[in-house]
Amino acid sequence: MVFEDVTLKHGETLSQIASDYGYNSWDWKIIWDHHINSDLKNKRQKPENLLVGDKIIIPLPWKIISKNMSVYPNNSNRFGITVNRDGAKGNKLRWVQTVFQDNQPIGFTDSFCADACPGDDDDPFYYTTNEIKNNSNYRKSFYDAPWRGPHPLRTTAWRAVLSICSVSDLQVSVFESIVWGVDFGKNGINTKYPPRKATQQEISGHLRLLKIGKGKTKTFKDGGWTFREALIY
């Protein structure tokens, strides 16, 4: 299991933090009673005794429970992917994706980039805050259907690394990373690259792209964002 560390702020409660990270608010005891928080529990005795600045470790048991590639509606030569995770929606849980666009990068973007390419806001997440505001299901469900026309010289091997991520202030922690993609054939015939678990090397590359990623008006680094793998204790 992976974990997130959260520093308590003024006005926050353990039940609210539980809700933020994918639990039902009444399941705060799962966090409080976890052995990883035993020192804090012994020190404060009750959650209501927690103080601003206390560090709480949040278990993140959430898993990708389905990842299916299928033909795009009304286009048998285009493939989309639908990915779902378990847990509740959680205000601090999002998706991040980085992509390799091979020989067909869009616009002035690089072949390797943090999705969306190009950026449509200055945050590092796949879905913007406004998109999630309009459809909160995007916290648990992911959909993408890339498209490129046939390249005159060779197949375009479009690949993506997708992760669930937890957010603490401006720190993004990735977990449950998968790789998927589409081969856009020179002959116009496209082939799906089915989703699989990402290797450690691929996760490292994923994080590297996030760290140098660009938003709409500035880099993620200039925005104060930092990136890491979710903690393992």
pLDDT digits (tens, 9 = 90+) for 4-30: 999 999 999 999 999 999 999 999 999
**Nearest residue to 113 (alpha-carbon basis) of 101, 103, 123:** 101
Q: Are residues 55 and 70 in the same domain?
A: no
CA torsion, points 132, 133, 137, 141, in degrees to nearest 10?
A: 0
Largest CA-CA distance found in the chain, in angstroms, rounded: 68
Peptide bond into 146 cis (omega under 30): no
pLDDT digits (tens, 9 = 90+) for 31-66: 999 999 999 999 999 999 999 999 999 999 999 999
Q: Are residues 50 and 106 in the same domain?
A: no
Q: Are residues 25 and 89 in the same domain?
A: no
Last residue of a domain, one of 60, 87, 107: 60
Q: Which value, in Å, is the radius of gyration of the alpha carbons in the chain?
A: 19
Q: Are residues 161 and 193 in the same domain?
A: yes
Q: Are residues 44 and 114 in the same domain?
A: no
Q: Are residues 93 and 170 in the same domain?
A: yes
pTM here?
0.96
Q: What is the mean pLDDT of residues 162-189?
A: 98
Place of tokens 């259907």: 145
- Provide the residue range defining the domain that includes 132: 64-229
Helix (H) or strand (E) holding 193: strand 190-197
Last residue of a domain, one of 16, 34, 60: 60
Q: Are residues 183 and 69 in the same domain?
A: yes
Determine the Cα–Cα distance for residues 89 and 24; give it in Å rounded to an integer: 9
- Give residue 233's pLDDT band: very low, low, confident or very high (50, 70, 90): confident
The residues near 40 (Cβ < 8 Å, ≥ 6 apart) are: 50, 54, 55, 56
pLDDT higher than 90, residue 2: yes
Where residue 116 falls (left for φ over 0; alpha for ψ -120 to 50; beta otherwise) is beta
Structural domains counted in the chain: 2
Last residue of a domain, one of 41, 60, 79: 60
pLDDT digits (tens, 9 = 90+) for 76-111: 999 999 999 999 999 999 999 999 999 999 988 999
The residues near 102 (Cβ < 8 Å, ≥ 6 apart) are: 111, 156, 157, 158, 159
